[in-house]
Amino acid sequence: MNTHLSWKRIRRATKLYWSLIKSPQTFLLLVTGLAGFMSSRCPWFNFPTLMAVAGSLFLAISGSTVLNMWYDRDIDSKMSRTICRAIPSGQVKPADGLLFGLLLSVLGVGWALVIDVLFGVIILAGLLIDVIIYTMWLKRRTAWSIVWGGLAGAMPVLAGRSFGAGRIEWVGILMGLAVLFWIPTHILTFNIRNLDDYNRAGLPTFPSLYGIPTTLRIISISSILAALSLGSAAVGINLEAGQMRLLAVLSAGLLFLAGVSMVKPSDRVNFGLFKYASLYMLFAMILMAAVIF
């Protein structure tokens, strides 16, 4: 009976702490980092290194996310979308959340530095930009903080590509720009759909400052720039003709939705663009990773 209760508590704790890393978001950023690495090195001949890259990225991205969740616990408690999260709801103590985030971050960045100094430095830069500049400094002061949030999101793919290539080069920068331009599609869509929550928490957002129609157009433009950046990167890595055609089809869908949203902006079209843009980023990065095969 005691053993059963112990396992039950362990499963519950695991579920709570797992929720702190926002696994869908972490998974997508992890895929971009692996795509950056695999676009320049064959995974089969570098499999141990690939696993090390995956492990260090997962820990660092997760650690960054947990630290953000810890710091934002006060505003999360004011928003209906986030009030049930583990820390603001009291299911995980703030001190425990902080310790968990620091542990993941130190392990992830430390592992990355051992693998390769340049790789580790870029991962560290991404973590510092995300936690200190974006979350702690700018998020509560300006709606333009999303630029820094996007820059932080671009670091995993830039780190992976730079490690594989042995240097920071233009293809890695373009892949990073694609993620940077994708981030506003994610953040601004949630700003629109949960505007009352953000206003209640006192957070500056594009919809509250510039209006929803302007924000929808910004999302459309950002999506177009993300597609153009990825397309240019695909040319740079010499994506095969079949893969390039598939990427073109995927990009055409994104451009079509972005165009419709720009001409006739609406919440329904924008949410469709948001969902498609996330899938687009996932499958486009998989195509980029498959270039070596």
Q: Name the pTM for this structure.
A: 0.94
pLDDT at 279: 93
Query: What are the angstrom distances between the C-alpha of 208 and each of 40, 196, 292?
Result: 42, 9, 45
- Measure the CA dihedral 86/12/130/46, to 10°: -170
Helix 267-289 with 170-193: angle, nearest 10 deg: 150
Domains, the chain, in order of start with CATH, read 2-292 (1.10.600)
Q: What is the pLDDT of residue 3?
A: 66
CA geometry: angle 79, 82, 87, nearest 5 deg:
115
Q: Is the dihedral of CA 62, 63, 68, 70 positive or negative?
A: positive
User: In the chain, what is the straight-line distance between the N-terminal and C-terminal CA atoms, in Å?
Assistant: 52
CA–CA distance, 252 with 254 (Å, rounded to integer): 5
Mark the ranges of the chain whose per-residue pLDDT is less than 70: 1-5, 291-293
The pLDDT value given to residue 43: 81
pLDDT score, position 144:
96
